[in-house]
Amino acid sequence: MSNLTAFLAQNALVIESEKHVVSKRFVDEDKKPIKWEVGAITSDEDELLRKSHTKRMPVPGKKNVFQPTTDYDAYLTSLAVKCTLDPNLHDKAIQDSYGVMGAEALLKKMLLPGEYADYLKVVQSVNGFDVGMDEVVEEAKN
């Protein structure tokens, strides 16, 4: 039998936030890229985010039958905003400087498409979604 005390909350390792260079366009006084701080969220917070981006859509050809559909692009944007600790994407001064309202709009306006895609990968990795499809396929084969 395993040691059950290892699973107690006080014995679980704390997930530390990570710092990553998201864009080489944001630099400090010494022209060095500024690192963004990214933290993980809880499974409960993730579930709330997913539910907020899930709608019940009617099934074509079936009366009164609905199927849940999740807008994964919107979900990933909300996840990225929730996990971004620094810079503060909710800061009105930063939003005003980009001419946007809201943290989601700011994130998309700040980053180039490639930077944004890479950042979403970082956020997913920090939250434990870092198992690639190739690894899943290989595991399924064995």
Q: What is the pLDDT of residue 17?
A: 94
pLDDT band at 14 (very low <50, low <70, confident <90, very high): confident
Average pLDDT of 55-83? 92
Residue ranges covered by each domain of the chain: 18-128
Strand order in the sheet with 18-21: 18-21, 35-38, 84-86
- Rounded Cα distance between 61 and 89, Å, is 43
pLDDT value at 107 more than 60: yes
Q: What is the pLDDT of residue 54?
A: 94
Share of the chain above pLDDT 90, in %: 70
pLDDT band at 9 (very low <50, low <70, confident <90, very high): confident
Phi first, then psi, for residue 77 (nearest 5°) are: -65, -45
Average pLDDT of 81-101? 97
- Rounded Cα distance between 74 and 60, Å, is 24
pLDDT value at 141 more than 60: no
Determine the CATH number of domain 18-128. Answer: 3.30.2220.30
User: What are the tens digits of pLDDT across the range 122-134?
Assistant: 999 999 997 555 5
Q: What is the pLDDT of residue 58?
A: 87
